[in-house]
Amino acid sequence: MIRSHVLVCGGAGCISAGCMAVKDALAEELKKHGLESEIQLVVTGCMGPCDLGPVLLVLPDNVFYQRVTPEDVPALVEEHLIKGRPYQKLLPKEGPSANVITTARDFSFFAKQTRIILENSGLIDPENIEEYIARDGYTALGKALTEMTPEQVIEEIKASGLRGRGGAGFPTGLKWEIMAKAPGKPKYIVCNADEGDPGAFMNRAVLEGDPHRVLEGMAIGAYAMGASRGFIYIRAEYPLAIKRLQIAIQQAYRYGFLGRNIFEKGFDFDIELRIGAGAFVCGEETALMRSIEGKRGQPMPRPPFPAQRGLWGKPTNINNVETWAAVPVIIRRGAKWYASFGTEKTKGTKVFALAGKIRNTGLVEVPFGTTLRQIIFDIGGGIPGGKKFKAVQTGGPSGGVIPEQYLDTPVEYETLQKLGSIMGSGGMVVMDEDTCMVDVARFFLEFCCDESCGKCPPCRVGTKQMLQILEKICKNQGEMDDITRLEELCMVVKEGSLCGLGQTAPNPVLTTLRYFRHEYEVHVREKRCLAGVCGKLSQVPRSPKRES
């Protein structure tokens, strides 16, 4: 009998940190002690605390180990797996007294999350469909096909209050209804897995940790909207997610959850992967569709919307990975259950990727309405090195920075928008007092300028001009007029651009101007950088790590 499972996190973060060598060392050590018949090793998807990798979870004891190296393995096996004593050296510690955390439940990083989308991630082997089935996988698809009409499925999604997790927050049920009613056949559905924001890795983790959940969500959506073919558009930079999706798709076909006559209800559905080359603009839906068609990824004016004229001129519905991933659990547990999480306007949970100057870098899931402070300090563990929090950038290059005085804002689509930022897909980059806000604006704008597809001039030329002004300010050559010119350009690019890339590119500049205008002015008037980042202005001591 297997008495214990040792789960090795196989998310991309832990793999880069060397978890596979740890896994091999564990396998060898278990063999050496003849424990293979008692203890099972499982490679799972991302557990979340990426910065602590490689991480392990030992069950049923529920003991979490961090930063495990192959050299630690013999002692860990001897202490914990043979003698039953948690191996102190590798347990997480937290709090001012550096308390040792002996069970994962007590670790506030886990304890304060609500994991719905990530319920299986880090718990099951993503390359084994049976483990997904054991966790109620594909029962939602079965329920939809055997007990519900397509209209009922759409009603359920509408009642759940689910909104698009790609960033804009459009009600998913409504989107599905429009698509279902759209004339024309065949109909296509698309999973947008072209996650491109710097510092965002939510979708990658879902695909790597629980790929079947996305396939099941898409199959349910296809049934509801009358589509027979689905595409997953994923970037080539995500090789592990691609590999696990390929395995998952093969297994789903073998078990009859994809293909012909699913659940013997006469419903056919096929899913294909489309690998993108990593252009940021291809996350925009019209550019994404052109890329799937094999054309150059450039956006088109809307309307017509994809539901009217999408892929190859046919009705098409595009949802983000996380949106699809929420669908099975809504059908399985009901709209009412799902809507019990979150706030009045925004139901459910959201996965965020924490990055930057934060202690617990990684992946967290919380209900909407959780405040920024709870996410960054209670779960994220705050700022390392005794530094002061300065701002958080939400929504990547399309979003904006939010300063300290708004830390108690509950996170929702509307509240973030009011602050000049956006929810985006869920990236959160935390900045401490050593960060120069002009430099941050320059960084994100450089990204957008680089990624502009060049189709419309406001974006192509405007972002370039904005970048030149910002570089000038950072180089000690700015004038006060530059700040006014920058603001004017922001408005032109925002109003005049064709697609979301250009329309949102000025957000980092606008929000830093709104909340940290004095930093710009100090750069221009006093020719110095308050944070000591901007290279040519080094009148304040610079830390050696921050060479720019």
Q: State the Cα–Cα distance between residues 244 and 212, nearest whole angstrom.
A: 9
98 binds other proteins (CB under 8 A): no
376 binds other proteins (CB under 8 A): no
Q: Which is nearer to other proteins, 265 or 518 (CB)?
A: 265
Max CA-CA distance within the chain? 75
Question: What is the smallest separation between the CB atom of 254 and other proteins, expressed in angstroms?
Answer: 12
Contacts of other proteins in 6-35 (CB under 8 A): 7
148 binds other proteins (CB under 8 A): no
56 binds other proteins (CB under 8 A): no
Provide the residue count of the chain. 548
Candidate residues 81, 104, 282, 422; the one interacting with other proteins per rule CB under 8 A:
81
Comparing CA positions, the residue from 227, 452, 257, 424 lying closest to residue 318 is 227
84 binds other proteins (CB under 8 A): yes
What residues have CB less than 8 Å from 390, skipping those under 6 apart?
Answer: 403, 404, 431, 432, 433, 435, 437
Comparing CA positions, the residue from 353, 348, 378 lying closest to residue 363 is 353
Q: Which is nearer to other proteins, 77 or 498 (CB)?
A: 77
Candidate residues 65, 109, 110, 138; the one interacting with other proteins per rule CB under 8 A:
138
85 binds other proteins (CB under 8 A): yes
Q: Write 16-19 long-range contacts (CB < 8 A, 24+).
A: 16/53, 17/53, 17/54, 17/67, 18/54, 18/69, 18/70, 19/43, 19/53, 19/54, 19/55, 19/68
Q: State the Cα–Cα distance between residues 167 and 195, nearest whole angstrom.
A: 11
Give the Cβ contact number of residue 321 at 10 Å.
31
Q: State the Cα–Cα distance between residues 352 and 368, nearest whole angstrom.
A: 11
Q: State the Cα–Cα distance between residues 443 and 200, nearest whole angstrom.
A: 15
Candidate residues 67, 112, 135, 546; the one interacting with other proteins per rule CB under 8 A:
135
Q: Which pair of tokens denotes residue 243?
A: 């590999």
CA angle 411, 417, 423 (to 5 degrees): 50
Candidate residues 51, 72, 131, 195; the one interacting with other proteins per rule CB under 8 A:
131
Q: Which is nearer to other proteins, 139 or 417 (CB)?
A: 139
41 binds other proteins (CB under 8 A): no
Q: State the Cα–Cα distance between residues 177 and 191, nearest whole angstrom.
A: 17
Q: Which is nearer to other proteins, 138 or 516 (CB)?
A: 138
Q: Which is nearer to other proteins, 135 or 472 (CB)?
A: 135
Q: Which is nearer to other proteins, 139 or 465 (CB)?
A: 139
Q: Which is nearer to other proteins, 133 or 273 (CB)?
A: 133
- Taking phi over 0 as left and psi of -120 to 50 as alpha, with beta for the rest, 395 belongs to left
Which amino acid, residue 379? Answer: I
540 binds other proteins (CB under 8 A): no
266 binds other proteins (CB under 8 A): no
Candidate residues 24, 136, 378, 471; the one interacting with other proteins per rule CB under 8 A:
136
Question: What is the smallest separation between the CB atom of 320 and other proteins, expressed in angstroms?
Answer: 27
263 binds other proteins (CB under 8 A): yes
146 binds other proteins (CB under 8 A): yes
DSSP designation for 290: H
Which amino acid, residue 443? Answer: F
Candidate residues 16, 75, 99, 134; the one interacting with other proteins per rule CB under 8 A:
134
Q: State the Cα–Cα distance between residues 26 and 77, nearest whole angstrom.
A: 8
38 binds other proteins (CB under 8 A): yes
Question: What is the smallest separation between the CB atom of 128 and other proteins, expressed in angstroms?
Answer: 8
- Taking phi over 0 as left and psi of -120 to 50 as alpha, with beta for the rest, 253 belongs to alpha
Q: Which is nearer to other proteins, 123 or 218 (CB)?
A: 123
Q: Which is nearer to other proteins, 182 or 218 (CB)?
A: 218
Question: What is the smallest separation between the CB atom of 455 and other proteins, expressed in angstroms?
Answer: 47
- Do residues 498 and 506 make contact, with C-beta atoms less than 8 angstroms apart? no
377 binds other proteins (CB under 8 A): no
260 binds other proteins (CB under 8 A): no
Q: Which is nearer to other proteins, 94 or 125 (CB)?
A: 125
285 binds other proteins (CB under 8 A): no
Stretch that binds other proteins, among 126-134, 398-406, 429-437, 527-535 (CB under 8 A): 126-134
Q: What is the DSSP string of 531-548?
A: TS-SGGGTTS---GGG--
Q: Which is nearer to other proteins, 31 or 518 (CB)?
A: 31
Q: Which is nearer to other proteins, 218 or 449 (CB)?
A: 218
Q: State the Cα–Cα distance between residues 467 and 484, nearest whole angstrom.
A: 14
Question: Which residues would be at the binding site for other proteins (CB under 8 A)?
Answer: 1-5, 7, 37-38, 59-61, 81-85, 123-124, 130-131, 133-136, 138-139, 142, 146, 255, 263
